[in-house]
Amino acid sequence: MRQKIMDSIKNGLKRGMSGYLWLLKILVPISLGTALLVYSGWLYSLDFLIQPAMGLLHLPASAALPLIIGLFTGIYGAIGAMAALPLTLDQMTLIAIFLLISHNIIQESIVQGQSGFNPVAAACFRLIMSILVTVIAAFFMDVAPPGMPGATAAQNTAAVSLGSMLSGWTWDMAGLGLQIFLIIMPLMVVMELMKTFHLIQHLVKAISPILSLMGLGRSTGVLWLTAAIFGLTYGAAVIVEETRENTFDRDDLNRLHLSIGINHAMIEDPALFLPLGIFPFWLWVPRLVAAIMAIYLLHIVNFIRKFHAQRTGHKKFCNH
């Protein structure tokens, strides 16, 4: 028993370090590139790409700034921008709904690509779903479209040297890397112990009703749970390592990625918006419902395709 535990810990640490180093290879260059974009000011010049959609999202033009920051960097910067803009509570709620689905989209789409899903499809799907869910939420919240579009908030950032910016980024990156390390390593050890003592089957069985409700297969239960709790960034190493070591059914893997693309990091990310006064219902429920509906829609589409293929094949057979 003791030897099994020691072997499991060693294997878990080895797998955790492998996944951690893989994650840093993606996280560091993308984070640095984004920081340089922000420093140069080019990031803010991209708001023209989003402003035409502001009316559709029932948001003022100034909301383009936190949306862009959230799309390319993450929720932390977006919340900082939201707090500095003259936005109503309803407008902040709609921004939060959008960004909970489509934040940090480049980095997280690459993570999904490394674990078996097309990264371009992942990014496009999340963007489309974030727009749809935000529009539907605006309808139920009875938020009127803004009247005359206001000017985007000017960026009067204090003059900071490139060296100071890089120094700050290095410390932030080191802190983030340490947080990820402290999450990944014990998680991988726990998963190895669970595998050794066959506990994963019991865990998956316990959450199988939730998986069935969400239209997911039992085989991807652990991956869904990892993404739901830790998110795509923190849980990336675990997800990638599991997909490398195990053979998953392609349909199950596609459904998993569609689901976690919409609904991941269910604890930390929504909680970050609570200090802004946003009602918790809008932070947790809309994207959970959207994830469930997306999977059932995929089931319907696949059924129609198979039914059409069978009818076409039968007709050809009869003609022959």
168-180: pLDDT as tens digits: 888 888 887 887 7
Which one is predicted more confidently, 65 or 123? 123
- On the question of pLDDT at 312 being above 80, the answer is no
CA angle 296, 121, 19 (to 5 degrees): 100
3-state secondary structure of 217: coil
End-to-end CA distance of the chain: 65
- On the question of pLDDT at 152 being above 70, the answer is no
- Where along the chain do its domains lie? 2-147+162-303
Which one is predicted more confidently, 81 or 228? 228
Can you give the pLDDT at residue 96? Answer: 96
Which one is predicted more confidently, 254 or 93? 93
CA-to-CA distance for 213 and 207, rounded, in angstroms?
Answer: 10
- On the question of pLDDT at 157 being above 60, the answer is no
CA-to-CA distance for 141 and 94, rounded, in angstroms?
Answer: 9
CA-to-CA distance for 127 and 132, rounded, in angstroms?
Answer: 9
SS (H, E, C) 139-157: HHHCCCCCCCCCCCCCCCC
Can you give the pLDDT at residue 316? Answer: 56
- For 18-76, what is each residue's pLDDT tens digit? 878 877 887 788 678 767 877 777 766 666 666 677 888 999 877 888 898 889 877 87
- For 237-264, what is each residue's pLDDT tens digit? 777 777 777 778 888 888 999 999 999 9
- On the question of pLDDT at 223 being above 80, the answer is yes
pTM of the model: 0.75
Can you give the pLDDT at residue 317? Answer: 53
Distances 192 to 11, 21, 238 between C-alpha atoms, Å: 7, 19, 11
pLDDT band of 159, cuts 50, 70, 90: low
What rounded mean pLDDT belongs to the chain? 82
pLDDT band of 225, cuts 50, 70, 90: confident
Can you give the pLDDT at residue 313? Answer: 63
